[in-house]
Amino acid sequence: MTFRVQARTLVLVVIVAAAVTAVFFVPPVPQDPAYHHFADHRALLGIPNFWNVISNLPFLLVGLLGLRTLARGELVSGVPELRAVYWTFFAGVSAIAFGSGYYHWAPSNATLVWDRLPMTVAFMAFFSAIVGERISADAGRRALLPLLALGVGSVVYWHVGELHGSGDLRPYAVVQFLPMLLIPLILILYPARMRPSGYLWAVLLLYGLSKFAELWDAAIFHELGSLSGHSIKHLLAALGTYCFVLALRRRHVVANVLEPASA
């Protein structure tokens, strides 16, 4: 059993080491100015880029719903030791509504930093929660602050670099995408103490779909005419967050040890 645990941990460590090492072989990546050119520029009610701005509202609603779940003691299946992690995640999600809304009101590098800061808080807190729920509650709890520092630091590093004409997105890319690679592996390699596990897979699926919608922003807008891919990205990502709220409310605990039957 100890060997199995060590082998699984080694897999994750090797992936992290490989990803971080690979970054040093890639030249610095500045922010592409074209990133700020979204397909839907329509203004409404005096709000520029109305749908890209207003589509952030679900983040606030779902984030507050998650915070209310915690405040009312409706944490049916979460890990009590991770309460601070859950609070941080939903607070970060709530803040995305303001940061992303502000950015889409007037897209630029200067406003993009306020979009990315709360996103990294949410990313890192969610990763900490998964580590805590699947690997070790203590590890997840202890990882929160270092991961938050790495996440926020990657955004600050990029932003300060941009101010001096040498922006570099490599650390931010690692912070954003490496957890999305590690989380599915953790769900597969480590047994579930709470079921059904489908809620967590739904979070990942919806996040993946949101990135797809973001990538095909203009094509989706051309086909639909009413909403762009980027607006739909916001809605899908918020829906993914709602799946995590449901997870905390509806899963049931099946074991209190780390080695039950696999998920």
Is 82 within the bounds of a domain? yes
pLDDT one-digit tens code per residue, 41-50: 999 999 999 9
Contact present, 54 and 226 (Cβ < 8 Å): no
Is 3 within a domain? Answer: no
What pLDDT does residue 19 have? 87
Number of domains in the chain: 1
Residue 106 has a pLDDT of 97
Q: Is residue 26 part of a domain?
A: no
Q: What is the CATH number of the domain that holds 113?
A: 1.20.1070.10
33 found inside a domain: no
Q: What is the pLDDT of residue 116?
A: 97
At residue 208 the predicted structure's pLDDT band, cuts being 50, 70 and 90, is very high
Q: What are phi and psi of 104, to 5 degrees?
A: -75, -20
pLDDT digits (tens, 9 = 90+) for 7-29: 888 888 898 889 888 888 889 99
Structural domain including 66 reads: 54-253
Residues contacting residue 250 through CB under 8 Å, at least 6 positions apart: 76, 77, 199
Look up the pTM and report it: 0.92
CB-based contacts of 61, cutoff 8 Å, min separation 6: 238
Q: How confident is the model at residue 260 (pLDDT cuts 50, 70, 90)?
A: very low
For residue 174, tell me if it sits in a domain: yes
Q: Is residue 135 part of a domain?
A: yes
Q: How confident is the model at residue 262 (pLDDT cuts 50, 70, 90)?
A: very low
**DSSP 8-class letter at 31:** P
